[in-house]
Amino acid sequence: MAIKNHNYGVGASKVTLDAAAEANGTKVFVYNETFLTAHQFSPFRSIRQAALHMKIGTTTLTNKLDTKKAYKGYYYYTQPLNKDKIK
């Protein structure tokens, strides 16, 4: 019976998967250490996407989030930067 269903074996669409990642992911805001300017592609929609783009491990990124310590020339936050947070 299930094989005759028109949705059998069809996964969720890319749009649906993107919406789920957006809703469930942790946004990551990345700022330059020197000028405190936002990275070109910031905010990233998930820790995984930020880690892949910034070429660091997801565990490392998770450990560096919201620590006020720069790593590889960038600060990593889960909320938009208030410049008073750094200093």
Parse the chain into domains and list their residue ranges: 26-85
Q: DSSP string of 2-62?
A: GGGSTTTT----HHHHHHHHHHHS--BEEEETTT-PBPTTPSBSSHHHHHHHHT--HHHHH
pLDDT tens column, 17-71: 888 877 888 899 999 999 888 888 888 988 999 999 999 999 999 999 999 999 9
Q: Taking the model in full, what pTM does it have? A: 0.73
